């Protein structure tokens, strides 16, 4: 099939490259001309394991084409995916301007029927709004064809985006039709054909109505965020009672009904999805006159946990300390700095008149414009800790887990280790002569 993917960010670019790898021809479209120029040279504007290789293969096979010209691509494609950003807008409601702008461009320039598939995370009812806007423009233009709007939310994880896209846990497709039972049979069969290389390896393609699909995405993110906040809620309790959050988490996660994932205590979630989607779900619920107290608590606990960690650090540091920070990205294997806890934590350290040298394997360049100018950057973890009174670990990169703690202690001036991701065993750290401060122990 020949398709377009509009928006070549973390989601759109990975989707475009993977669809090309699966044999489709893909027009990757973005308004950012610089990004498109880079992509045409086979260079990825983002760090994502395995992506650049797919990009080069796609360009070589000519199944991947990059352009800023959406109208020019339309005559060639049967499906347009919209994967543009939906950042927080007024009152934390999702800002849908980019989604509507893509829908309008498609409606104004399409000369044949095609599917408009929304991959961005959008509040329930957005698909309906898009369809109404598109239909109004097509009527105005006197077009006899229709452009059905489909919801196909994305669940990939940054850092594992290529694997997640090639072999997802599930593909959710929301389609509405005049006849609810038929559910736009043509649209359904086109989506089946598009995803056949993935369903062939046993991954489920689940059809439902558009509203359900839109809600699944927010429900999934809010549920995962709630698991994180639930375990974080217990950290202070463990600290006060002499329990260990690691043991509590192990004991809890071994229950098959609960499962161990997303039960790792730390400084809480960040990134481009959980914080904004949790808040946007609350905003949408409010628009429907509803309140979701569990989700409200999830958000509050996340904010409080970050603040509690900042207070722990500040209460232990000597005046005008020099601090090494390991990890800036909101999680490992990505350079994404959106809503990274490192931003608030480093700002608080600098505001308290301490100095900071930071190290991150891939995110330093993206971090620089977001962090105070006085922050220095190191090229290796050990360079960062030189002369440091304290080390603060903010992202659980594998290279930090495996560090030799005795060498670390020798490389530092002081002996304070603040472990924001609970990646070290407290006893091992203490044996190396360091003072361990984690969360929940
Ligand atoms: N990043 C993730 O891990 C992730 C996972 C699942 C879902 N999502 C959702 O997917 C959507 C995209 O997220 P992202 O992280 O890829 O965003 P992003 O900011 O990385 O990428 C968005 C891209 O869209 C482009 N763009 C904006 N307006 C445009 C327009 N009118 N025409 C063409 N291009 C336009 C931007 O230049 C940018 O390249 C969001 O709704 C997000 O919530 C993200």
The protein residue with its alpha carbon nearest to ligand 1, atom 25, reads 7
Does 440 have pLDDT greater than 70?
yes
Q: Which residues of 24-33 are buried (b: 16+ CB within 10 A; e: fewer)?
A: bbbbbbbeee
Does 152 have pLDDT greater than 90?
yes
Say how many Å lie between the CA of residue 80 and the centre of ligand 1: 14
Q: Give the contacts of 119 (CB within 8 A, at least 6 positions apart).
A: 5, 11, 12, 15, 81, 82, 83, 152, 153, 154
Does 388 have pLDDT greater than 50?
yes
- Nearest ligand 1 atom, CA 120: 41
- Counting ligand 1 atoms within 8 A of each CB, the residue from 30, 100, 116, 277 with the most, and so the one to mutate, is 30
Pocket of ligand 1 contains residue 334 by CB under 6 Å:
no
Answer for the pair 99, 82: CB distance below 8 angstroms, yes or no: yes
pLDDT category at 185 given cuts 50, 70, 90 is confident
Pocket of ligand 1 contains residue 94 by CB under 6 Å:
no
CA distance 52 to 56: 6
- Counting ligand 1 atoms within 8 A of each CB, the residue from 18, 51, 83, 158 with the most, and so the one to mutate, is 83
Q: What average pLDDT does this structure show over 141-159?
A: 97
**Tokens 């006085």 found at:** 374
Say how many Å lie between the CA of residue 141 and the centre of ligand 1: 29
**Long-range contacts, stretch 242-251, CB < 8 angstroms, 24+ apart:** 243/440, 244/440, 244/441, 245/422, 245/439, 245/440, 245/441, 246/422, 246/440, 246/441, 248/440
Say how many Å lie between the CA of residue 87 and the centre of ligand 1: 9
pLDDT tens digits, 33-63 = 999 999 999 999 999 999 999 999 999 999 9
Say how many Å lie between the CA of residue 173 and the centre of ligand 1: 19
pLDDT at 184: 66
pLDDT at 179: 45
- Active-site annotation holder among 18, 130, 238, 273: 273
pLDDT at 177: 79
pLDDT tens digits, 104-117 = 999 999 999 999 99
pLDDT tens digits, 212-230 = 999 999 999 999 999 999 9
Sheet (strand 115-118) strand order: 64-67, 25-29, 2-6, 79-82, 115-118, 149-151, 171-174, 205-208
Say how many Å lie between the CA of residue 85 and the centre of ligand 1: 3
Q: Residue ranges per domain, the chain?
A: 2-208, 228-437
Tokens of 103: 């829908």
- Nearest ligand 1 atom, CA 32: 37
- Nearest ligand 1 atom, CA 336: 1
Equal fold, 2-208 vs 228-437: yes
Q: What average pLDDT does this structure show over 346-372?
A: 98
Pocket of ligand 1 contains residue 85 by CB under 6 Å:
yes
Q: Match domain 2-208 to its CATH number in 3.40.50.720, 3.20.20.80, 3.30.365.10, 3.40.50.11900.
A: 3.40.50.720
CA distance 262 to 236: 18
What is the CB neighbour count within 10 angstroms for residue 204? 11
Answer for the pair 393, 400: CB distance below 8 angstroms, yes or no: yes
CA distance 222 to 220: 6
Mean predicted lDDT score pLDDT of the chain: 97
Q: Which of 332, 29, 375, 378 is nearest to 160 (CA)?
A: 332
Q: What average pLDDT does this structure show over 170-195?
A: 83
Pocket of ligand 1 contains residue 84 by CB under 6 Å:
yes
Q: What average pLDDT does this structure show over 235-259?
A: 98
Does 182 have pLDDT greater than 60?
no
Tokens of 417: 């280790």
Q: What average pLDDT does this structure show over 223-249?
A: 98
Pocket of ligand 1 contains residue 15 by CB under 6 Å:
no
The answer to whether the pTM exceeds 0.85 is: yes
pLDDT category at 178 given cuts 50, 70, 90 is low
pLDDT > 90 in the chain, percent = 98
What is the CB neighbour count within 10 angstroms for residue 71? 13
Answer for the pair 136, 112: CB distance below 8 angstroms, yes or no: no
- Counting ligand 1 atoms within 8 A of each CB, the residue from 12, 38, 45, 99 with the most, and so the one to mutate, is 12
Does 180 have pLDDT greater than 50?
no
- Counting ligand 1 atoms within 8 A of each CB, the residue from 272, 275, 277, 284 with the most, and so the one to mutate, is 272
The Cα angle at residue 329 between residues 84 and 432, in degrees rounded to 5: 165
Say how many Å lie between the CA of residue 327 and the centre of ligand 1: 24
Sign of the alpha-carbon torsion through 396, 402, 405, 410: negative
- Is 130 annotated as catalytic? no
Say how many Å lie between the CA of residue 120 and the centre of ligand 1: 7
Q: Which homologous superfamily is 228-437 in?
A: NAD(P)-binding Rossmann-like Domain (3.40.50.720)
* CA dist 210 → 37, 131, 153, 206 (Å): 35, 11, 10, 12
């Amino acid at each position: 099939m020949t398709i377009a993917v509009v928006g070549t960010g973390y989601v759109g670019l990975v989707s475009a490259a993977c669809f090309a790898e699966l044999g489709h021809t893909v027009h990757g479209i973005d308004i950012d001309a610089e990004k498109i120029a880079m992509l045409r040279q086979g260079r990825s504007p983002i760090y994502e394991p395995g992506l650049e290789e797919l990009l080069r293969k796609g360009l070589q096979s000519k199944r991947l084409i990059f352009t800023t010209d959406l109208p020019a691509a339309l005559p060639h494609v049967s499906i347009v995916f919209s994967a543009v950003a939906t950042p927080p807008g007024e009152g934390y409601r999702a800002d849908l301007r980019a989604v509507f702008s893509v829908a309008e461009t498609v409606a104004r320039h399409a000369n044949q029927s095609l599917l408009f598939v929304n991959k961005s995370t959008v509040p329930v009812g957005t698909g309906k709004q898009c369809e109404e806007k598109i239909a109004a423009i097509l009527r105005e233009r006197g077009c006899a064809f229709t452009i059905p709007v489909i919801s196909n939310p994305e669940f990939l994880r940054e850092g594992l985006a290529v694997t997640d896209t090639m072999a997802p846990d599930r593909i959710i497709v929301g389609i509405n039709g005049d006849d609810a039972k038929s559910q736009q049979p043509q649209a359904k069969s086109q989506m089946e054909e598009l995803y056949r290389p993935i369903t062939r390896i046993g991954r489920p393609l689940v059809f439902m109505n558009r509203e359900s699909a839109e809600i699944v995405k927010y429900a999934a993110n809010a549920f995962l965020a709630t698991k994180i906040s639930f375990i974080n809620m217990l950290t202070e309790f463990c600290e006060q009672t002499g329990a260990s959050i690691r043991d509590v988490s192990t004991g809890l996660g071994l229950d098959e009904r609960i499962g161990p994932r997303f039960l790792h205590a730390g400084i809480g979630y960040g990134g481009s999805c959980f914080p904004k989607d949790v808040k946007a779900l609350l905003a949408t619920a409010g628009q429907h006159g509803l309140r979701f107290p569990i989700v409200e608590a999830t958000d509050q606990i996340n904010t409080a946990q970050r603040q509690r960690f900042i207070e722990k650090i500040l209460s232990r540091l000597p005046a005008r300390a020099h601090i090494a920070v390991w990890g800036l990205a909101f999680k490992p294997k990505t350079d994404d700095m959106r809503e990274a806890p490192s931003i608030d934590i480093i700002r608080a350290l600098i505001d308290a008149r301490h100095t900071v040298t930071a190290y991150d394997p891939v995110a330093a360049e993206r971090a620089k414009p977001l962090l105070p100018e006085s922050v220095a950057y190191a090229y290796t973890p050990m360079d960062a800790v030189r002369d440091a009174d304290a080390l603060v670990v903010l992202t659980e990169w594998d290279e930090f887990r495996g560090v030799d703690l005795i060498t670390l202690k020798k490389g530092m001036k002081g002996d304070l280790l603040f472990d924001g991701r609970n990646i070290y065993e407290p006893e091992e750290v203490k044996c190396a002569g360091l003072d361990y401060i984690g969360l929940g122990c």
